[in-house]
Every structure is written in C-alpha cells, then in structure tokens.
Amino acid sequence: MARIGFERLAHGYGTGGYALKPMDMVWEDAGAYALLGPSGCGKTTLLNIVSGLLRPSEGRVVFDGAEVTDLPPERRNVAQVFQFPVVYDTMTVRENLAFPLRNRGVPAKAANARVEHVAALLGLTAMLDRRARNLGADDKQKISLGRGLVRDDVAVILFDEPLTVIDPHLKWELRSRLKELHRQVPVTMIYVTHDQTEALTFADRVVVMSEGEVVQVGTPEALFDRPAHTFVGHFIGSPGMNLLPCAVAGREAVLEGGARIALPRAYPALAGKVELGIRPEFATLAREGLPVSLRRVEDLGRRRIARVELAGRPFAATLPEGMPVPAEPCLALDLARLHVYADGRLAEGEA
C-alpha cells in the first residue's frame, strides 16, 4: 500500500522542452486513479516515473514519505500491466503467476497458496495448468494483472492502456472485474488511457492531462459537471462540450450572431477569449427557444444527437426520446449548467 507524492516533479528533454511540466500532487493510498489524455500528453511519461522505468529530470517521487526517485522498478513494489499482454510463453499460467515470487525467493508452498488465491480472484483457476501462450488476449491480460497481485508487498499496480487489444464485450467483463478487485484488494491503482469511458468508469479520481500538464484532477462527476478547462470539457463527454465564442456582461452572454443568453451567475469583466460552454446533454432540441438550423441527426441507438448550427457554429444537442424532428428546430438550454471560460479556463461567477 502506498500514498504517492510528487514534489516539484518535472521531466525535460535536454533541449529545454518539457515532456512533463513541473507539478506537485499527492495520490491517496488505495485510491483508483486514471491518467487521461491524448497521445503525447505526458501520461505515459508520468506512469514510467512512478514505476521507476524513467528517472525524472527534476523533483522527487515519494512513496509513503520515503523518497524513491532513484530506486529501480524492482525495489519499488510496483506491478505493471502493459498495452499488449506480456506473458512468459513457455510457462503455464501457474508458473507465470508464480514468476515474481520465485524471483524473490518465496518458498514454493507459500507461493503456491498465493497463486491459487489470486487465480481464484481473477477467475483463472480452471486454466492454471494450461500454457499461457495459447490463451486469448483477455486471459493474458488477467495473467499480467495476476503477476502484480500475487505479491503481497505490492503497493501500486499500474495499467498502461490495458484494454486496447480487447474486444468490446470482453472489455466490459474485464473492466468490471478490475473494479471489483480494487474493492477487495486495497492497493493503489493507476490506469493510463486516452479513452474517457475507461478512465471515468474505472477511477475514483481522474487526472486529465494535456501537453505535459495536469489540467484538472477530479471525480468523474466533477469533470462532467464543472470542467475547469475547455480542454476537459471537450475531451470528456461524447460528443464533448459545445463551446461558443461570446461576450459576457454581468448575467448575460451575447453570441456572435447577436443572440442573448441569460447566465446563472454574474461574471466580472473577463479578459481574453471568452467562451460559453454547454454540454449536449443539457441542450435539447425543442419547438421554442434559440432558433437553429439542423444539419444531421445521429442515431446512437439509445439516444439521438442533433447536429445543428448556432450562430454560424456547429453545435451538438440532444433529440429527446420519441420526439419527431421539429420543422423549425429550436434549442432549449438548461441554464444552470452553463459555464463561462476565459482563455480556456473556467471563470468563477457569483450567484
């Protein structure tokens, strides 16, 4: 078990550029964290710093108050599950699971008991004596995970996009099992992904990263309800948050076309690029409201998304269940859910 701290941590590439910009953060013991962001945002760099595969160029990494910045992976009590399943081909499932224990000189009897226990947790008991090479990708990922869980000293389990090569149906199975497992085995879990659904459903707290910087840390609902940055608004949600350039004065926003929208809070004078943000979930197509022109309707099976144009910009809205497409479509906005952003950052208003 471990509480992980980063103190003035940064990683630079010789030329002065940062792959990871300086940050301070603490991850609580036994928490489920997700690092979410597009390729190249620095999430894998951060993961490798936690595991010890990469030494940060600045700052310290602290596990439970003890500095581990210079310790190699094998001395950090971390386990890792990779994007492509890593199993030891020539070994059986049992030998694979026992491998980390054998390397640490655990007696065979104790090791076997641990292996049986972990196999039961992961539903691998029936295949313990089969060769690992012949199994499907999902079972191989379970083995990778099992090699981490089998050590009773393991403090952190790291997941590097572990579901990439898994079929959608098996993803559900594996993900929920992972989540159940986290309830039973109190270790810190860190899950790196570019897939918001995976990040939000897995983690208690999601760390959203962009261009080497942490832009927001929060619960799934906080990221959904109050994105601190337009990047978070866009990145979380499918489709992401609608952002409309506007001018804000007090309790009113004026869109480019001149349309006026009442705001739930009063805002001071804002500098820079001012945008109004609203999620498609809170903008529904209706018979009255802001007139828009309809471009296209996407049928997602369990809901429909109306792609419309508002003030000359594309805008995604919800077409309510059972409602026929209106002849003169308008937008009804849930005003309480509107947010104002100045230069990309959430502007705080006064109620």
Partner 1 sequence: MSLRLDGLGLSAGGQAVLHPVTVELPPGLPNVLLGPTGAGKTTLLRLLAGLDRPTEGRIFAEGTEVTGLPPRRRSVAMVYQQFINYPSFTVYENIASPLRVARLPKAEIEARVQEAARLLRLGPYLQRRPLELSGGQQQRTAIARALVKRAALVLMDEPLANLDYKLREELREELPKLFAESGTVFVYATTEPAEALLLGGRVATLSEGRVTQFGMAGEVFRHPADLATARVFSDPPLNEAPARVQGGRVLLAGEVALPVAVSGLPEGPCTIGIRAHQLSLEPLPGAVPLAAEVRVAEVTGSESYVHLDVGGMNWVVLAPGVRRPEPHEAATVWLDPRRCLVFGADGRLAAEAALAEAA
Partner 2 sequence: MAKPRDDRAWLLVLPVLALVAFSALIPVMTVVNYSVQDTFGNNQFFWNGTAWFKELLDPSTDLGGRFFDALWRTLLFSGLCLLIEIPLGIAVALCLPRKGWGVAASLVTLALPLLIPWNVVGTIWQVFARGDIGLLGAAVNGLGIDYNYARDPLAAWITVVAMDVWHWTSLVVLLCYAGLRAIPDAYYQAAKVDGAGAWAVFRAIQLPKMQRVLTIAVLLRFMDSFMIYTEPFVVTGGGPGNATTFLSIDLVKIALGQFDLGKAAAMSIVYNLIILTVCWVFYATTTRGQSEASR
Q: Binding marks (x or -) toward partner 2, 42..61, rule CB under 8 A?
A: ---------x-x--------
Find the binder of partner 1 among 298, 309, 328, 343 (CB under 8 A).
298
Among candidates 31, 61, 63, 32, which has minimal Cα distance to 46?
61
**Which of 14, 105, 129, 302 is in the footprint of partner 1 by CB under 8 A?**
302
Select the binding partner of residue 134 from partner 2, partner 1, none (C-beta < 5 to 8 A, by kind). partner 2
Footprint of partner 2 on 114-133 (CB under 8 A): 131, 133
* 262 and 335 Cβ atoms separated by less than 8 Å: yes
Which residues have C-beta within 8 Å of that of residue 126, sequence separation ≥ 6? none
Q: Of 66-74, 112-120, 211-219, 324-332, which part binds partner 2 (CB under 8 A)?
A: 66-74
SS3 category, 259: coil
Return all residues near 109 (Cβ < 8 A) that are at least 6 apart: none
Considering only residues 33, 63, 99, 224, which one is a binding residue for partner 1 as defined by CB under 8 A? 224
**AA letter at 343:** D
Per rule CB under 8 A, is residue 183 in the interface with partner 1?
yes
Task: At 294, give phi and psi (nearest 5°).
Answer: -85, 130
Please pick, from the candidates 89, 173, 288, 309, the single residue that binds partner 2 as defined by CB under 8 A.
89
Of these, 99, 191, 231, 267, which contacts partner 2 (CB under 8 A)? Answer: 99
Residue 86: name its binding partner from partner 2, partner 1, none (Cβ under 5 to 8 Å by kind): partner 2
Minimum CB separation from partner 2 for residue 76, in Å? Answer: 9
Residue 28 interacts with, from partner 1, partner 2, none (CB under 5-8 Å by kind): none
Sign of CA dihedral 108, 109, 115, 118: negative
Specify the residue, 154 or 223, whose C-beta has the smaller distance to partner 1.
Answer: 223
Q: Judged by CB, which is closer to partner 2: 4, or 79?
A: 79
Residue 277 binds to partner 1 (criterion: CB under 8 A): no
Cβ-contact 279, 236 below 8 angstroms: no
Query: With the C-alpha atoms ordered 79, 83, 84, 85, is the resulting torsion angle positive or negative?
Result: positive
Burial of 265 (0-12, 13-18, 19+ CB in 10 A): middle
Binding status of residue 223 toward partner 1 by CB under 8 A: yes
- In the list partner 1, partner 2, none, the entry touching 238 (Cβ below 5 to 8 angstroms by class) is partner 1
H or E segment to which residue 196 belongs: helix 196-202
Residue of 300, 301, 327, 336 whose CA lies nearest to 316: 300
Q: Which residues in the 233-252 window bind partner 1 by CB under 8 A? A: 234-240
Q: Which residues, numbered 192-231, are part of the site for partner 2 (CB under 8 A)?
A: none
- Are the CB atoms for 32 and 25 separated by under 8 Å? no
Can you tell me the distance from the alpha carbon of 213 to that of 23, in angstroms, rounded to the nearest whole number? 8
168 lies in the binding site for partner 1 (CB under 8 A): yes
Instruction: Report what 172 binds from partner 2, partner 1, none; CB cut-off 5-8 Å by kind.
Output: partner 1
| CA separation, residue 1 to residues 76, 78, 170, 285 (Å) | 11, 10, 29, 49
Closest CA to 81 of 6, 158, 20, 23: 158
Q: Kindly state whether residue 176 participates in binding partner 2, applying the rule CB under 8 A.
A: no
Q: Which neighbouring-strand residues pair with 92?
A: 131
Closest CA to 102 of 93, 92, 115, 111: 111
Binding region for partner 2 (CB under 8 A) out of 59-67, 96-104, 252-260, 323-331: 96-104
Interacting residue with partner 2 among 88, 197, 250, 272 (CB under 8 A):
88
Structure tokens, 185:
């085995």
Binding site for partner 1 (CB under 8 A): 38-40, 167-169, 172-173, 175-176, 179-180, 183, 194-197, 200-202, 219-221, 223-225, 234-240, 279, 281, 298-303, 321-322
Binding site for partner 2 (CB under 8 A): 51, 53, 72-74, 78-80, 82-84, 86, 88-91, 99-100, 102-104, 131, 133-134, 144, 147-148
